Structure formats: structure tokens, C-alpha cells
């Protein structure tokens, strides 16, 4: 089974709509779960109205909802989960008070028929099969479908009551929220085929076992074997947050500006883990990860050959083909991301090698911390296509061993 990487979590209050990060995942016209009142909170509110809980006056307060998938708790504010066809997911939801500054849980002395209640209502796509596993958890899987995209939400409400008597009504807050995860089911890729995946021309991967393959490739065959699973990148999945500061589409931008949707990409869990921590370390260094832009992500073998026809040459076994390499710049945050260029991060009023070196040092620290090693390259000029051509940039890949290099400075 592949390493699981849970990447998105968000919540809303009873009366609110979905937060912006989740709104972006569901373009107009896409079937989504309804957005009216939280049905879980409505259940508890009705119990209060019917005096089923003792002498309580109910109020509603926004809460933090957390979803775990197969025991892994989300630790970022983004939302994509990559799964294999037929792979069973167990989702569990919990509801708690928001962080300091929000509504805090209250403690009461007294009696109630039940001291703690939690209601969870799960919703998915119209064709989803959701099986209740426990009061707060479900089982979900994509079946045999490939390329399936499914948004699963949990509407949660909780009420905590601990009072010894009920002479006067107690105003107990119902903590209410909603969270969701977006599942993207992989599409199998068979290297012995014609290189086509659901009409998209991926191309033929180079043979890592051939006599003309470099020795470093032949001695690391598994790392240079073609991916066996690709993921559909369309309008919906492109807008979903794969990182707290970046969408899936931004992590894997189209190699050619004229590329159309859908596309199919390889994406390594190693890269996601690295980029998540890299963003945190940028913040620790006083930089804003929202200003980080990927100039190049996944490049298929077919796209590599098309780049070569434009005199843009990538190595035959470039890591961009394996879904674990990116070309990065840190921008001024003002220009459109499509026009991204490296900006001054050392505050010396020029953009030069020192700016890339600062990012490279943070990247190396991230690799050392995660023991997730690869290439860290300082490159003087990005070879397009696109508006970023000519800008200095940082190359990062997760090939399995550390290599530092510098080109063009």
C-alpha cells in the first residue's frame, strides 16, 4: 500500500457557507453536498427544545472539526487525498472548541441525562457508497472506478454538560462545524502500453535497465521505474489545496501554456511531505510561503520531447517525470502567478545568486530534518516556455540521495 498523505482540512460554522479553500474545490455546476444548516447541530438543538437533555438553553458556536483518514490526522489547512481504486478509507470526525480567542468550552456542575453528546452527519457525492462504521466514523472507497473525484464532508456538533442540578436553565453552547476531504482516485499507468491514459498522451518512459542508462540510474532501478499511478488534474482537482499554501494545480503547472484540461500527473508523497515542511521553515525564516511559486512540476516523457523540439533540454531521466521534482521561485507577491519571477529575499536590492542560496539552505535543512534527500540546484536562468523564462530559480528533487549543484552563476 502506498504511503498515505492527508493534505486538506477545513471547517465552517452552523450558519456559514464553506470556507474559501473548499469553495474553490467545487466550481459552479458541480454536484456537491447541500450547504444549509448543519444537520448534526439541528439534531442536538431539537433535543434541547424537547427537553430531552434536562434544563438547558441551547446556543450555537462555531467549532473546529477534525477529520482523520485511516488514523492519520490532518495537520494542514488544505484538502486532497490520493487513493488507489478499491482502497478502503475509514474516516473519523471530531469537534472541538476553536483555538484561543474563539469560543471556549464551558464546564457545568450538575446532572443531565447525558454528559456528553456528539452528532456526525456524513455526506458525499451522489454515487458514493458510505457505510457507517461507528457513531463518529464511516467506511468509504472509490470502488473499481479510476480517475474518480469525490468530496466527502462531515457535519459535526457536540454538547458537553456536567451540572449537578437544574434549578435554572444553563446556556450550553452547541459547538458546530463542518470539514471535508477531497479524494482523487488514481489511474493505472502501464509502461508496456502505448503511453496513452484516457486519451492523454503521456509518452514512453526511458528504460532504467537499458545498457545506455547512466550507472547511477541502473544502480537505483526502483527510483527510476515509471510511476504506476497517475492522477487526473481537471478544473475541480486543480483548485483543491494540496498544501496549506498551494493548490494541486499550482504544484503541477501545465508544461505548455496551451495545455488543456484534463491532464494526468505523477505525484510522489515524498514531494508533498517535503513541500509541507519547506513552507513551515520558510515562515520560520520570516518568509511567506504564499509567495512561493512552482515554475515546473510534473513533465511527462511526451512533454519532455516536445520541450526538446523547442531547444529546452531536460535529462532523459529527469526527476520531473517521476513526480518528485519542482522548479521554485519566491516572488514579490504582486505579479500574477503566471508571470512569476524570483524576487529579492536578502534585502540587498538585487536579485542574484544570494537569493537562491537562501532558499537552497532552507531546502537542505528541510531534507536533513525529514531525512528525505535529493537534489538542490541553484540555476541562473529558467528555460521556459512562459513569462518566467530567464529568471533565476531553485531546483528541488527527491531522488533519494543529496546532490547540491549550481548552474550559470
Q: Write the CATH number for 138.
A: 2.60.40.10
What pLDDT was estimated at residue 96? Answer: 77
Contacts of 137 (CB under 8 A, 6+ apart): 90, 91, 92, 93
What was the pLDDT predicted at 384?
85
- 377 assigned to some structural domain: yes
**What's the CATH code of the domain at 321?**
3.30.1380.10
Q: Determine, yes or no, domain membership for 125.
A: yes
Judge whether 70 lies within some domain.
yes
Residues of the chain with pLDDT below 50 are 1-36, 75-78, 100-114, 164
pLDDT score of 338? 83
The conformation of residue 78, written as its DSSP 8-state character, comes to B
Q: Tell me what pLDDT residue 299 has.
A: 98
Give the Å distances, CA to CA, from 345 to 369, 371, 387.
23, 26, 20
Number of domain units in the chain: 2
Would you say residue 15 lies in a domain? no
Is residue 10 a part of any domain in this protein? no
What is the C-alpha separation between 348 and 355, in angstroms, rounded?
9
Looking at the fold, whether 150 and 98 belong to one and the same domain comes out as yes
Q: Is residue 43 part of a domain?
A: yes
Asked if residue 265 and residue 341 are part of one domain, the reply reads: yes
Looking at residue 363, what is its pLDDT?
Answer: 98
**Structural domain of residue 343, as residue ranges?**
187-407
Residues 206 and 162 occupy one common structural domain = no
Looking at residue 347, its pLDDT comes to: 93
For residue 156, the model assigns a pLDDT of: 87
CB 295 within 8 A of CB 328: yes
Do 163 and 192 share a domain, yes or no?
Answer: no
Is 288 found in the same domain as 363? yes
Do the beta carbons of residue 209 and residue 221 sit within 8 Å? yes
Are both 161 and 298 inside the same structural domain? no
pLDDT given for residue 80 in this prediction? 75
A 10 A CB-CB count for 211 gives 6
The SS3 of residue 254 is coil
Could you tell me if 362 and 259 lie in one domain? yes
Residue 212 to residues 54, 313, 393, Cα–Cα distance (Å): 78, 18, 30
Please tell me the predicted confidence (pLDDT) of residue 310: 94
B/e letters for 78-99, b = 16+ CB within 10 Å, e = fewer, are bbbbbbebebebbbbbbbebbe
Residue that finishes a domain, picked among 124, 149, 184: 184
Same domain, yes or no: 162 and 228: no
User: Of the candidates 130, 162, 184, which is a domain's last residue?
Assistant: 184
Amino acid at each position: 500500500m502506498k504511503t498515505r498523505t492527508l493534505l486538506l482540512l477545513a471547517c465552517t460554522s452552523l450558519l456559514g457557507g464553506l470556507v474559501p479553500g473548499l469553495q474553490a474545490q467545487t466550481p459552479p455546476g458541480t454536484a456537491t453536498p447541500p450547504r444549509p444548516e448543519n444537520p448534526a447541530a439541528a439534531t442536538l438543538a431539537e433535543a434541547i427544545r424537547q427537553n430531552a437533555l434536562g434544563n438547558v438553553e441551547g446556543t450555537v458556536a462555531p467549532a473546529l472539526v477534525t477529520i482523520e483518514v485511516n488514523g492519520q490526522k490532518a495537520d494542514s489547512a488544505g484538502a486532497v487525498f490520493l487513493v488507489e481504486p478499491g482502497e478502503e478509507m475509514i474516516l473519523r470526525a471530531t469537534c472541538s472548541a476553536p483555538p484561543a480567542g474563539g469560543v471556549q468550552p464551558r464546564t457545568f456542575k450538575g446532572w443531565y441525562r447525558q454528559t456528553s453528546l456528539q452528532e456526525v452527519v456524513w455526506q458525499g457525492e451522489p454515487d458514493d457508497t458510505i457505510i457507517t462504521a461507528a457513531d463518529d466514523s464511516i467506511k468509504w472507497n472509490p470502488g473499481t472506478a479510476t480517475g474518480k473525484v469525490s468530496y466527502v464532508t462531515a457535519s459535526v456538533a457536540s454538547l458537553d454538560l456536567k451540572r449537578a442540578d437544574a434549578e435554572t436553565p444553563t446556556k450550553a453552547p452547541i459547538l458546530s462545524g463542518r470539514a471535508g476531504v477531497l479524494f482523487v482516485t488514481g489511474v493505472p499507468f502501464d509502461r508496456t502500453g502505448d503511453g496513452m491514459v484516457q486519451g492523454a498522451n503521456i509518452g514512453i518512459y526511458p528504460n532504467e535497465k537499458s545498457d545506455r542508462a547512466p550507472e547511477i540510474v541502473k544502480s537505483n532501478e526502483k527510483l527510476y521505474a515509471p510511476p504506476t499511478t497517475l492522477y487526473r488534474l481537471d478544473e475541480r482537482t486543480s483548485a483543491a489545496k494540496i498544501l496549506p499554501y498551494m493548490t494541486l494545480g499550482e504544484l503541477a503547472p501545465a508544461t505548455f501554456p496551451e495545455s488543456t484540461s484534463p491532464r494526468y500527473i505523477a505525484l510522489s508523497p515524498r514531494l508533498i511531505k517535503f513541500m509541507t515542511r519547506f513552507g513551515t521553515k520558510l515562515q520560520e525564516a520570516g518568509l511567506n510561503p504564499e509567495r512561493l511559486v512552482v515554475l515546473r512540476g510534473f513533465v511527462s516523457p511526451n512533454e519532455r520531447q516536445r520541450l526538446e523540439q523547442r531547444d529546452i533540454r531536460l535529462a532523459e531521466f529527469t526527476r520531473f517525470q517521476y513526480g518528485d521534482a519542482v522548479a521554485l521561485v519566491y516572488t514579490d507577491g504582486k505579479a500574477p502567478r503566471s508571470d512569476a519571477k524570483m524576487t529579492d529575499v536578502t534585502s540587498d536590492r538585487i536579485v542574484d545568486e544570494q537569493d537562491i542560496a537562501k532558499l537552497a539552505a532552507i531546502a537542505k535543512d528541510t531534507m536533513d530534518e525529514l531525512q528525505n534527500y535529493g537534489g538542490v540546484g541553484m540555476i541562473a536562468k529558467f528555460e521556459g516556455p512562459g513569462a518566467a523564462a530567464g529568471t533565476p530559480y531553485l531546483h528541488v528533487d527527491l531522488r533519494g540521495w543529496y546532490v547540491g549543484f549550481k548552474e550559470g552563476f
